[in-house]
Amino acid sequence: MNKQTPTTEDQNETARRYPELFAEIDRSLLPRHVAIIMDGNGRWANTRRFPRIKGHREGVRSVDDVVACARELGIPVLTLYAFSVENWKRPQVEIRALMALLKEYIKAKVAVMQENNIRFNTIGRIHDLPGEIQKLVKETTEATSRNSGLVLNLALSYGGRAEIVDAVQAIVKESAERRIGPEDVNEALVTAHMYSPDLPDPDMIIRTSGENRISNFLTWQSVYSEFYFTPLLWPDFKRKEFLEAIIDFQKRERRFGLTGEQVRPHKAP
């Protein structure tokens, strides 16, 4: 995966709006992959006595802000939990509104993605989406496939357990066809059957709205992710809050099962 190099214009935009926060970020310690559970759109609308779809539309504004910030910083991958397998249980009127909003968003952003070298990708049971959205997703993925900057990865009709089940089913099928044997099954093989095995595991997972759980999100990939929970509802989470989350991430010591002494630079006596 090509690493995105921010342009001078990008840096000036980020620095212009939040110069102190921008100065705190160590560009050599950026996470390779940030994933976000965008929670709180409905509550944001309810507290203001708006229809729930108004909250989802305001949430799109936060998507725009965070995507721009991630791109400007040079973060390679941004995954957004847009619609879960459990979300199909919501009232049909809300599901139809969400599908219409998703279609509207993708159509509106194709040119923006091309202009800003963003590669569009999706994970999930895309075949469960309405046919016209499946077609739009496929066309947008193909149209941006040669872009080498930020990977904007939308989790649609996605569930972490569903992803593992789908991977196991594919492995069992290969075993039945005698293409692999039991001795071939290991972590690398399972990872290879995930929805997007070419993407790195998320270094950081952000969840908004004050809920402290992962809600069936990237179950296999999140075993060593750093979690960042904020009480802010998603429509209130913008560029500034994203920068603050990255700064918090950079203050953490990631050991991956090792001791602190093993991962810290050795200092001569």
- Given this model, what pLDDT does residue 80 score? 98
Q: Indicate which residue of 10, 39, 116, 153 is catalytic.
A: 39
Tell me the three state secondary structure of residue 122. strand
Give yes or no for residue 95 having a pLDDT over 50. Answer: yes
Give per-residue pLDDT as tens, 245-260. Answer: 999 999 998 776 767 7
How would residue 12 be classed by pLDDT, with cut points 50, 70 and 90? low
Our answer to whether residue 216 is catalytic in this structure is no
| pTM of the predicted model over 0.75 | yes
Our answer to whether residue 39 is catalytic in this structure is yes
Q: Pick the closest to residue 79 from 244, 205, 235, 236 (CA basis).
A: 205
Q: Give the C-alpha separation, 78 to 152, whole Å.
A: 5
What mean pLDDT comes out for the span 2-18?
Answer: 59
Per DSSP, helices labelled H in 25-91 are 41-47, 52-73
Give per-residue pLDDT as tens, 197-225. Answer: 999 999 999 999 999 999 999 999 999 99
Can you give the residue ranges of every domain in the chain?
A: 30-249
- The residues pairing with 228 across neighbouring beta strands, listed in sequence order, are 206
CB-CB neighbours of 263 under 10 Å: 12
Q: Which fold has domain 30-249?
A: Undecaprenyl pyrophosphate synthetase (3.40.1180)
Q: Indicate which residue of 46, 87, 117, 216 is catalytic.
A: 87
